[in-house]
Amino acid sequence: MTKILVTYDMFREGFNELVEKYDVTFPDEKGFSYEQVLEMIPEYDVLCSMFDFPVNKELMDRAEKLKLVANYAVGYDNIDIPYAIEKGITVANTPDQVTAPTANLALALMLDAARRVTECDRRLRIEGKNMKIGVLENLGVGVTGQTLGIVGMGRIGQALAKRANACGMEVLYHNRRQLDLEAETRFKVEYVSFEELLERSDFVSLNAPYTKETYHLIGENELRKMKSTAVLINTARGPLIDEYALIKALKEGTIRAAGLDVFEFGDYPSPELLDLDNVVITPHIGTQTMQTRIEMAKAVCDNVIGFFEDDRPVKRVTPLIKW
């Protein structure tokens, strides 16, 4: 019987169909460690991995029976894709389920940073009646009539463009390849170079995948090209931004503000970010709604069942075109 190893323990109801059909091993609430999976993997045909679980050369070399890695995420920088292809191992992900919640969070961070919602909430709680309140105090910026630059026009970038349209924004984008005219018309977007996007945008949202080419896509030089009134949003991957350069830019007023759901050095922001009023931070919650997480679990199951029974689509991962 096909054996499936799941590295994480969450939303078991999403795995009901998989459990009915195959021999599935779940961990306890802590999840399996890398060392535990390394020891167990030779017996398994499928590995259901979490977005932060490393599926590397060492592990795949131990996985004598492994045919499929079904990743519980849209991103897959935790997996050595070229080596998986070399080993004949299929990799699948869950792109559809994360699109709307991540786009919604990007918009929320943008609105929050623009209107200083979190900053004013925090100050009001701390300062109370001592906080200055008046017609010229606590001024933010609007989004209607402003320009949003989207870096990475995949599913999430396109979903964000729709939301920006609804807010009355002009939308520019830069992508690995330009969309066709029909898609550009439908999403009401204009394709520009990366440099022009930085120079023209009032808001810049990063929605690109994390690759060698996109590491520190935004650094000191790029921040200097942006408007001093610009707001930078990142709901993609932390290392797309040089975090130290961003801290410097936020302190010196090189850009107005930032909204971050991800951080360069792991799950936690650099301590200096915590002291800045002009940054809104959330702890990687782009897909953290109960409904989304259950749907993602079901999507993992669909990838596994579709792979073996060919009765439904499999969201196979292919190598990215260079940025």
Give start-end residues of each CATH 3.40.50.720 domain in the chain: 3-93+289-309, 98-281
**Rounded distance between C-alpha atoms, residue 117 and residue 138, angstroms:** 10
| pTM over cut 0.85 | yes
pLDDT tens, residue by residue, 108-117: 999 999 999 9
Q: Which residue has the higher pLDDT, 211 or 106?
A: 106
Question: Which pLDDT score, from 0 to 100, does residue 151 have?
Answer: 98
Which pLDDT score, from 0 to 100, does residue 132 have?
A: 86
Q: Is the pLDDT of residue 320 over 70?
A: no
Q: Work out the average pLDDT over 293-314.
A: 96
Please identify, in words, the CATH class of the domain defined by 3-93+289-309.
alpha beta
Query: Do the Cβ atoms of 231 and 113 come closer than 8 Å?
Result: yes
Residue 216 CA: distances (Å) to CA of 187, 200, 210, 237, 254: 27, 20, 10, 10, 17
**pLDDT score at 78:** 93
Output the CA torsion sign for 248, 249, 253, 256. negative
Q: State the average pLDDT over residues 300-322.
A: 90
More confident residue, 113 or 138: 113
Kindly provide the residue ranges of all beta strands, DSSP E only, lying in 236-311, ordered along the sequence: 257-260, 279-281
Q: Which residue has the higher pLDDT, 17 or 30?
A: 17
Whether the pLDDT of residue 192 is over 80: the answer is: yes
d(CA 199, CA 309): 50
What pLDDT shows up at residue 243?
98
What digits encode the pLDDT tens for the residues 243-302?
Answer: 999 999 999 999 999 999 999 998 899 999 999 999 999 999 999 999 999 999 999 999
**CATH number corresponding to 98-281:** 3.40.50.720
On the question of pLDDT at 203 being above 80, the answer is yes
Q: How confident is the model at residue 321, as a pLDDT?
A: 60
